[in-house]
Amino acid sequence: MSQCSRKELLIASFFVLINAYGILAAAQGNLFDSLKNNIRYAVSNGQKLSATLSFCDKWESMSPDTLRYYVLAAKQLALKQNDLHASIFADYYMAAWLFQANKIDTALTLTDKTISAYKKDFSYDDVLAKLMSLRGNILIRTDNVAEMTKNSFDFIKMAEEHKDTLNIARGMLGIGNADMRLKKYDETLSWYRKALQLLPNAMYKEKLSFIYNNIAIVFYHLNKEDSATYYVKEGIAYSQGSGNLTNLANGWFLYGGLMAEYKHISEAETAFEKAIEIRKKIGDVYYIISDMAQLALFYCDNNQPQKGIALCNEGINLLKQNGNDFSNQSSLYEVLAKAYLQVKDYKNYSDVLRQQLNLKDSIYQKNTAEEMAEMQAKYEVQKKEAEIAHQRLLLVKKNYLIYGSLAVFILLVFSSYQLFKRYRQDQKFRLIQAIEKEKKISERAVNEAEENERKRIAADLHDNLGAQANALLYGTEQLKNIAQDESVLLDNLQYTARDMMQSLRETAWAMKQSEVEARQVWLRIINFCKHLSLIFKEIRITTNGDAHATAIFSSNRALQIILIVQEAINNAVRHSGGDRINVESRADESSWLITVADNGQGFDLAQHQNNGIGLVNMKERADKAAIAIRFDTGIGKGTAIRLLIPFDALKA
């Protein structure tokens, strides 16, 4: 197929989606009119209650005000009828309204209370499944990834016990969403594919149409344009089939974002307009803010940064008015920083970057990989226990008629259990004594180590900031005397101030913990490279590879690794004269190799061996942390700095 015909096919499929949306809008209106007529012409309070609850079930496609009106009506009817089941069902929709209105804490409290009440009086059914699904959606908005993962595993276990395939898939989607928040894209894709395999037909896929949007986002992060575009179109098509306006608006906005990213500007504008038109009908504040960030990014990418700044600031004000507790606020700050950089407003750019970094640090601290792994392991154990229990039940049924043998068997089991219990108590008592003794020794050792570590880090912080503050002072004195070099001095002052802020942040981060995973170190190096890329757009800074999955370092050693790598990158940016810098990570079971290489002019290593301040600093830090460092360079050959780091330990 020629390039021209492929383009025509893409345009044709795009307009099929638009035409389908027009049909959906009319169908959606007819559906709501029909549901309202069912309420209006109900001949008894019981029929009216049932019709009102059916109308509320379309809450994802209506405004919060409309939902609240009908929820209150349903609650009053349920109380009049003394219908406990309907009353709890109405509480679910009230929690959904609070969720739409972004009253997140209140929504979570009511959802937990409703789940508890429902479990007390009713068995598992569609109402309880909807409550569990809503709880997961509430948790993801608070960025409480650990709690969301636990909720999803609980949901899966409950659905598996009742062979509820659709809601098993919902639970798997929840785990995938949590992994995506932590940027674990391979794990995310694995969970999404497991969920997709449980959707055998179009009806199931329409109910979980948002899975296609989520898969498209993963492929976008993996730089797979064709796959991302394909899945978002699938998501739009299934959302149209289900009539879910929230999922449909999300699909159109995601499609617009992808088209803008891939430079299809006209298609992007059309998609954004469709999404906003649908979103206005719903009025969900969370998604309105998300849409603002996406549209502001579109403005920035199309040379309209002032519009982007205005839209982001409007979104931030909306955040403050609605509790400031949105998981999508990070994207709003990212776009705002980009817009300020475009208009060269460096003061506001610096302020926004600092707020963004603090926000990301708080999110990472709240959701550790250990918690996620622990919950997944717990789920697997519970699943195995359930399987074992089921097998035992089958065995008992099979041998039910052999009463004599069964009685002997029970007696033997009971006797063995008593002996085992006694033995276990003995072992437990000895273990407790040993643990207490070890605990006292460990506490003393940990206290001494922590004190030494803090002193060492504090001294490092003092040395770094003292030297950089002297550089700032010297620069300001020169500004008073040498007017012609003001531009160069200002650049140096700005660079020094940025280095001070980076050193302070990294040192403060290290002081908060006694041990640091290699993956955390590598993540901070990646983030540092991304921020430099925003500032020095003329230089292409890339990162390749990954850290060892279970390696850990002391906080001081982790800090030295980060500061050495940052020093190497800064030197390449400021002095190499090149336009490419690559930071590469390779790890085996015993050590970690990090390479910082540029394509710059290089230098004579012999001349700078002892008098280059940057080289001396890196060597001193490497010596402190028992790191082997090597400099490969030459005039006209570029520079490569290699760190070989033995591991402190590996987690079991």
pLDDT, one tens digit per residue, over 383-436 is 565 566 556 656 655 665 666 677 777 877 777 778 777 877 877 777 787 777
Contact 285, 63 (CB under 8 A): no
**Digit-coded pLDDT (tens) for 546-580:** 999 899 998 889 999 999 999 999 889 988 899 99
pTM of the model: 0.45
Residue 210 predicted with pLDDT over 90: no
347 three-state secondary structure: helix
* Cα angle for residues 26, 260, 293 (degrees, 5° grid): 80
Residue 123 predicted with pLDDT over 60: yes
Residue 493 predicted with pLDDT over 90: no
Better-predicted residue by pLDDT, 470 or 167: 167
Tell me the torsion sign for CA atoms 205, 210, 214, 216: positive
Residue 612 predicted with pLDDT over 70: no
Q: What share of the chain is helix, strand, coil (3-state, %, to 5)?
A: 75, 5, 15
In the structure, what pLDDT confidence band is assigned to residue 1 with cuts at 50, 70 and 90?
A: very low
Contact 555, 518 (CB under 8 A): no
Residues with Cβ within 8 Å of 512's Cβ and at least 6 positions away in sequence, in order, are none
Q: 210: number of CA atoms within 13 Å, CB side?
A: 15
As a whole number of angstroms, the distance between CA 71 and CA 110 comes to: 14
Q: What is the pLDDT of residue 508?
A: 62
Q: What is the pLDDT of residue 24?
A: 39
